[in-house]
Structure 1
């Protein structure tokens, strides 16, 4: 299968991977032949990329880090809990009004069990082919990425539980922000942005007294927009004043926001998002965390179409864990644009003179 931007998908192409609805259930199954109306509908729902069947790459298997059961329960749990919280005025909440701690701890157990089976895997995009409200899927994505990175960084299971809960609930304060503000397509006014920034305080106030929720989880919600140089909010904390978990979540939150479709722009691909994150190394984000993230992220996801410095084009079919930016590429077009049968592959970790110079026919920054 191949991972194509929706702009390159044509009627008659067949899906190579399922598309899920807002409940985490299958909406369109594998091998469904796409029509023009289906493609328009996917575009309207914010789907920017889909996996397409291609006989030359039909041996590729894109393994999800979460089982369908876990993903479905997670989206349902996040959605239902956040909607209940949205209906509750936080200033009037009592400790017994909403007890999300028990259900979210059970959910974290399921997530960690699934992720522990893939702890050495490269982190692939989690939001491709999912039709969902941004807040719910974003919360799950940040949890998946943060937990995987915590595993790679040697955190204990107890630490991973707290980090994962902090990631799941980092944006819970946005349930108190008007939807029309969160979904505004035009540039926010200074007053509107100031109001949105209050979601960190709203989240802290809600979580700090919740039963079965560690206080550190509340601080993750409070601090995930703080930055090393003090340029973040709400308190302008610097360096070690920001908890380690919040620094992880802040980094991952930024990455997922960039690689997810938003009402005001299309999703970026991982290599584009990582270029932006690296510009903040040492000022916004920890150097060690950025480097570990870089080493665990599939910068060029399996199935993506790349152009090589030789002029040949192909599809990424395997990843090299030690050098993620130099994957294995199956050649589909020669330098003259002639179609190939897909029988030849090139391992860029060994062919050091060959570089990836384009992704989906767009140039890659040197």
Structure 2
């Protein structure tokens, strides 16, 4: 912690020590984020200096794609797909090039090293969803040592997999398909067919890409849709795992969920709806509690996730909230759950 003059504060700083009135009552507790109105009040009381926490690497996120790249790819995919009519359209070929750029970005940024990645909980459109599924499936496929030409087809298939959603007259955002009316649910389950029919005559697309579009909602236990084939190729299984995970956290055909809830879903259906080896590899690199998550620990203490722990997606580094009367520094309240084996996250706080 460090001592700062009031006039140096701009808002957003974290108070490191309680501010007391002349009657020794707590005016503001340690750990609170200083808002501009708090700073003005402190100043009006004649307080000239306060202790604040020194900035830590609280935004130590490790993302699959840089935000700038993700936005660039989103805009490209949206521009191309929104120009696509329900007929042959050569401009879609540009998505093949975009798929290669995403593959190269994943390779360049991450070099397939053992990192734990923060996946953003968000509301998104089908274009951002497609880009995110593409990056997740690319990394999964590369870690499974699938050959590069097949990785390209997986990436291209991901960018196109939900093109059929563009032709639906129903609202599927933040709605679980099981909560839709029977007519709406039946229409939603047709979107892979709509996408496949729109693309089946495109001669630049491989057979695998077309199968990804048609079969990405099929399941190992044949409880998917729309066709329920006897067997689903492993490459399509990769897309299915990445797709359902991202659908759940961005709310496409699902009620929007937290990352840890989507992780628990995959664990529950591992070996049932999804291939065990695909789920295992996927969960090796997805952070269960993204940086910035507010959590409650089993010892009753609350905290914020600061960064991930290599090799342990469910045991991050956490900064505990300051308790009343705690005069310790911010560093004293940081715990690494890989070093505290008796402590674990009990739940995520809203």
Contact 1:327 1:348 survives alignment (8 Å): yes
- Is the aligned partner of 1:123 residue 2:110? no
Deviation at 1:252, TM superposition (A): 1.4
Name the SS of the counterpart of 1:315 in structure 2: strand
CA shift in 2, pair 1:320/1:98, >3 Å: same
1:59 aligned residue (57, 60, 70): 57
After superposition, where does 1:1-366 map in structure 2 within 5 Å?
A: 58-60=56-58, 61-85=60-84, 88-89=85-86, 93-94=87-88, 97-101=89-93, 103-116=94-107, 117-118=109-110, 119-120=112-113, 121-126=115-120, 128=122, 132=124, 134-178=125-169, 180-183=170-173, 187-238=179-230, 241-261=231-251, 265=255, 267-334=256-323, 341-344=329-332, 345-360=334-349
Deviation at 1:183, TM superposition (A): 4.7
> Which one has a bigger Cα radius of gyration?
2
CA shift in 2, pair 1:301/1:34, >3 Å: farther
Name the SS of the counterpart of 1:113 in structure 2: helix
CA shift in 2, pair 1:75/1:340, >3 Å: farther
Q: Structure 2: how far apart are the matches of 1:163 and 1:263?
A: 22
Gaps of 5+ in 1: 1-11, 15-32, 36-53, 362-366
CA shift in 2, pair 1:214/1:357, >3 Å: same
Name the SS of the counterpart of 1:326 in structure 2: strand
Q: Could you tell me the TM-score, scaled by structure 1's length?
A: 0.73
Structure 2 counterpart of 1:40: none
| Residues 311-364 of structure 1 deviation map (CA, whole Å, 9 limit, x = unaligned) | 222222232232211122222334x69586321222211211112113226xxx
Deviation at 1:256, TM superposition (A): 0.9
Contact 2:215 2:226 survives alignment (8 Å): yes
| Residues 228-277 of structure 1 deviation map (CA, whole Å, 9 limit, x = unaligned) | 11111111124xx2121221111111111111146984x32211111122
Name the SS of the counterpart of 2:223 in structure 1: coil
Name the SS of the counterpart of 2:91 in structure 1: coil
Deviation at 1:109, TM superposition (A): 2.3
Deviation at 1:98, TM superposition (A): 3.5
Deviation at 1:172, TM superposition (A): 0.9
Name the SS of the counterpart of 2:329 in structure 1: coil
Q: Structure 2: how far apart are the matches of 1:173 and 1:153?
A: 28
Relative contact order, CA 8 A, sep 6+: which one is greater?
A: 2
Deviation at 1:13, TM superposition (A): 5.4
Gaps of 5+ in 2: 1-10, 14-34, 38-51
Q: Structure 1: how far apart are the matches of 2:253 and 2:244?
A: 16
Q: Structure 1: how far apart are the matches of 2:216 and 2:36?
A: 40
CA shift in 2, pair 1:77/1:337, >3 Å: farther
| Residues 62-111 of structure 1 deviation map (CA, whole Å, 9 limit, x = unaligned) | 244324553233111221222122xx23xxx24xx34312x112212221
Contact 2:96 2:156 survives alignment (8 Å): yes
Q: Structure 2: how far apart are the matches of 1:227 and 1:233?
A: 8
Q: Structure 2: how far apart are the matches of 1:202 and 1:135?
A: 15
CA shift in 2, pair 1:184/1:310, >3 Å: closer
More displaced, 282-291 or 205-214?
A: 205-214
CA RMSD of superposed structures (Å): 2.9
